[in-house]
Amino acid sequence: MHALFEAWRHTPTQRKVWALAAPMILSNLSVPMVALVDTAVVGHLPHAHQLAAVAVGGSLYTLLTWAMGFLRMGSTGFAAQAAGRGDGGALRQVLLQGLSLGVLLALLLGLLALPLSGAALSLMQPSAELDSLAREFFQIRLFGLPATLASYALIGWLLGTQSARGPLAMLLTINLINVSLDLLFVFGFEWGVTGVAWAAVIAEWSGALLGLWLTRYALREHPGQLDPRALKRWVNWRPLLMVNRDIFIRTLALQLVFFLITVQGTRLGDATVAANALLLNGLTLAAYALDGLAHAVEALCGHALGARDRDALRRSLLVAGTWSLLASVGFALFFLLGGHWFVSMLTDIADVRELAVSFLPYLAVLPLLAVWSYLLDGLFIGATRAREMRDAMLIALILALPLAWMLQDMGNHGLWLAFLAFMGLRSLVLAGYAWKLSRRDLWFPPSVSGEIAHAQRPAAR
């Protein structure tokens, strides 16, 4: 117990955790601002189909990009371990691989985007005006797709080098440019919906270019040389691609859960699905703060694993874990005691508000269960052990689905109980994997698992 207390009081670790967590929390909070600003600006245009076009086109673009989040998470773990080893060559390799993969995926998604978006719009059966304007908005946004995916890789790489102010600077730049150009293009040049789309494209490219410029500081701190031939060898690509594959599968499984919540809520009535959406906004709010601490765990634990520093790994987990627990308790109390205010702020519809308030106790419990999965996700990302993350998500989903089916007669109460069980199972399975690796001393194997081969090392024969 004394050792744990001393680790908690370790001032350098406290400073490192918050030096990373605070900027990342602010960065997370800035993410939804682009969509909010777009909605606010277009909401002052005269026709409803203009606002609907931005909503539909923006949703299609988000659907195209959200699953590419593995570009950030994969880059973070490998960059953190390379920085911990002091391997400047590998750090440069991770950066170039992440950027190359982002651009390649942008080209592939761009080719698929037009036919898929056409099919999606056909299913929606919009009016002729909405269909035409939504297509135009979406097609313009595609010009920013390479920048968006490159930014994912850049943010992950900068976080891995413990440069958390870099992602904050990138996202603030994107938001400020987007807001300024929205106002100029829509109200100044009277470009309407197309002005909103071009503002977003320019903002995304500005953020990506700023991110590229910011990498030079971390590269100076970690000198090294990259052999260009290393990028031509499959052995140097395989670890990153395998990690990204597993994170992608994990993300799809998680999104399936939220999709099923929406589907089941829809079957229970319009008021129920609306109330659930409001409550899930509360979870999103809590996740912004808790994910900031999880991002700190990714960078610090990855660095400790790369440096093979057991004490640093233990201290980072203890400090970030304790703050995460305190934050989750704070959110639980807020939702339990002040949740009615939160719901009232989001809607004036009486039946939706009343229904949402009645389910606030479930929302209050949720951060206490979810916090451990966020924290352990950070550990596994830093360790580039995405397979365990993938398996934990799939196991939790497989176990929770029969429970949801058995509880469906309980209506929305059964739905929330099943969701709580899913989040609890996810945390438990991840904890089981972490305990197993610790007991077998596999966090620090003789040859670090998931490590990208050194750029200067000859290819395996």
Q: Please compute the mean of the pLDDT values over residues 219-224 and round it to a whole number.
A: 91
pLDDT-wise least confident of 112-116, 140-144, 398-402: 112-116
Residue-level pLDDT at 107: 94
Q: Answer yes or no: is 21 within a domain.
A: no
Q: How confident is the model at residue 461 (pLDDT cuts 50, 70, 90)?
A: very low
Are 201 and 311 contained in the same domain? Answer: no
Q: How confident is the model at residue 456 (pLDDT cuts 50, 70, 90)?
A: very low
* Domain's final residue, options 182, 197, 226: 226
Tell whether the model's pLDDT for residue 219 goes beyond 80.
yes
Residue-level pLDDT at 200: 93
Tell whether the model's pLDDT for residue 32 goes beyond 90.
no
Are 71 and 4 contained in the same domain? Answer: no
Q: Please compute the mean of the pLDDT values over residues 23-27 and round it to a whole number.
A: 88
**Which segment, 31-45, 124-138, 142-156, is predicted with the most confidence on average?**
142-156
Q: Answer yes or no: is 19 within a domain.
A: no
Are 9 and 122 contained in the same domain? Answer: no
- Its domain, for residue 422, covers 1-14+237-461
Are 357 and 457 contained in the same domain? Answer: yes
Q: Answer yes or no: is 117 within a domain.
A: yes
* Domain's final residue, options 175, 200, 226: 226
Residue-level pLDDT at 459: 36
Q: How confident is the model at residue 448 (pLDDT cuts 50, 70, 90)?
A: very low
Q: Answer yes or no: is 458 within a domain.
A: yes
pLDDT digits (tens, 9 = 90+) for 168-199: 999 999 989 998 999 999 889 989 889 999 99
Tell whether the model's pLDDT for residue 457 goes beyond 50.
no
| pTM strictly above 0.75 | yes
Q: Please compute the mean of the pLDDT values over residues 111-119 and round it to a whole number.
A: 84
CA 46 – CA 97 distance, rounded (Å): 46
Q: What is the mean pLDDT of the chain?
A: 88
pLDDT digits (tens, 9 = 90+) for 377-417: 999 999 999 999 999 999 999 999 999 999 999 999 999 99
DSSP-derived letter for residue 226 is: -
Contact by Cβ (8 Å): 110, 201: no
Q: Answer yes or no: is 57 within a domain.
A: yes
Tokens standing for residue 440: 């077998």
* Domain's final residue, options 192, 226, 260: 226
Are 170 and 247 contained in the same domain? Answer: no
| Continuous H helices in 142-269 | 145-160, 165-183, 193-221, 234-267
Q: Answer yes or no: is 194 within a domain.
A: yes
Are 318 and 202 contained in the same domain? Answer: no
H or E stretch at 4 = helix 2-8
Helix axes 33-42, 48-65, angle to 10 degrees: 160
Q: Answer yes or no: is 20 within a domain.
A: no
Residues of the chain with pLDDT > 70, as a percent, come to: 93
Residue-level pLDDT at 347: 75
Q: Answer yes or no: is 46 within a domain.
A: yes
Residue-level pLDDT at 124: 66
Are 215 and 241 contained in the same domain? Answer: no
Q: Positive or negative CA dihedral for 128, 131, 134, 136?
A: negative
Are 243 and 222 contained in the same domain? Answer: no
pLDDT digits (tens, 9 = 90+) for 74-107: 999 999 999 999 999 999 999 999 999 999 999 9
Tokens standing for residue 293: 């601490």
Tell whether the model's pLDDT for residue 245 goes beyond 90.
yes
Residue found by looking up tokens 């040859």 in the block: 447
Are 263 and 192 contained in the same domain? Answer: no
Query: Closest by alpha carbon to 257, among 152, 373, 153?
Result: 373
Are 173 and 35 contained in the same domain? Answer: yes
Q: Please compute the mean of the pLDDT values over residues 432-441 and round it to a whole number.
A: 94
Q: Please compute the mean of the pLDDT values over residues 120-131 and round it to a whole number.
A: 76
CA 284 – CA 255 distance, rounded (Å): 13
Are 174 and 267 contained in the same domain? Answer: no
Q: How confident is the model at residue 455 (pLDDT cuts 50, 70, 90)?
A: very low
Are 67 and 95 contained in the same domain? Answer: yes
Residue found by looking up tokens 């060559």 in the block: 89
For the chain, what percentages of helix, strand and coil (3-state, to nearest 5) are there? Answer: 85, 0, 15
Contact by Cβ (8 Å): 93, 236: yes
Q: Considering its fold, how many domains does the chain have in total?
A: 2
Tell whether the model's pLDDT for residue 214 goes beyond 90.
yes
Residue-level pLDDT at 460: 38
Residue-level pLDDT at 450: 43
Stronger pLDDT, 262 or 412, i.e. the higher one: 412
